[in-house]
Amino acid sequence: MRPFTAPQLNPASETGWRRTWFDIIYRHDTPVSRNFDLLLVVAILASVLAVMLDSVASIHLRYARLLYGLEWMFTLLFTVEYALRLLVVRRPLRYALSIWGVIDLLSILPTYLSLLIPGSQSLLVVRVLRILRLFRILKLTRYVEESGVLVQALWRSRRKIFVFIFAVVTIVVIAGALMYAIEGPDNGFDNIPLSMYWAIITVATVGFGDIVPLTTTGRFITSVLVLIGYSIIAVPTGIYTAELIGNLREMDQEARSHDTRGCPGCDLEGHARDAHHCRRCGHRLPVPMA
């Protein structure tokens, strides 16, 4: 996971309108750019809401024209924003091919496509992905530290979680094949992939109930599967909690060892709070500050 590299200004013009718009669009720390961010968030949420409402039959019947107008308005707005982003950034192609650039493009394309191929409008739902942009903006608010801790803990436990997911998938494959062999198409377990879908729904304790075991053996295996699922749900929680607490303890120890005295003799830092002498050269240390 390569850390996201901030976009850089198109060097063509260090000053001028490009500089102005680059600061507005890509920076998030000036009043103007913050207002732009706010406007963008409102526009994204409003356009997503419009797509949502348009999908409701009764609303579509009455407000189809209004919503159609809004769709074009948002599309044009986002098109202008997309064009600006490409114009002012240093490496337009790189931005266009980045995940954010692709989402931006996909969120305007369906409306234009619908002129050529009627019905492709329904692809507009892709626009909801733009909501992810909110996360990038949020990253710059006070929530940055909190989400940082959460994501860091997730990232540090990624291998353990991968092992866990692998174990769950193995259980699902075996349980799916077993249930297909036992229950079979007569009881709704039409094929192994469908049985595996059922096993995932069951082991994760969702249990839709559209497919259920009807034989005694099938029910017994389901019981075992459910108890396994019930027990191993502890595993990701345990992994994640241990990681979060580990983080906490580290911060704790860092805070405790917040002794900033440098040795007058050898410049060594990081002494224990109760140390009177440097642990390397034995030189007397200054009295620590409260």
Binding residues for a copy of itself restricted to 194-213, rule: CB under 8 A: 194, 196-197, 200-202, 204-210, 212
User: Which range, of 26-34, 98-106, 113-121, 185-193, touches a copy of itself by CB under 8 A?
Assistant: 185-193
**Which member of 190, 215, 261, 288 binds a copy of itself (CB under 8 A)?**
190
Region 124-143 residues binding a copy of itself, contact defined as CB under 8 A: 125-126, 128-129, 131-132, 134-135, 138, 142-143
3 state SS of 50: helix
Q: Output the smallest distance, CB 21 to a copy of itself, in A.
A: 28
Residue type, 23: D
Region 241-260 residues binding a copy of itself, contact defined as CB under 8 A: 241-246, 248-249, 252
Region 39-98 residues binding a copy of itself, contact defined as CB under 8 A: 48, 51-52, 55-57
Kindly state the tokens that stand for 109.
């394309």
Q: Is 16 in the site for a copy of itself (CB under 8 A)?
A: no
Region 156-175 residues binding a copy of itself, contact defined as CB under 8 A: 159-166, 168, 170, 173-174
Question: What is the largest distance, in Å, between two alpha-carbon atoms of the chain?
Answer: 85
Kindly state the tokens that stand for 15.
């000053």
Q: What is the DSSP letter of 142?
A: T
Backbone angles phi, psi at 117, to 5 degrees: -110, 105
Q: Are 168 and 180 in contact (CB under 8 A)?
A: no
Residue 85: exposure state from Cβ atoms within 10 A (0-12, 13-18, ≥19): buried
Binding-site size for a copy of itself (CB under 8 A) equals: 102
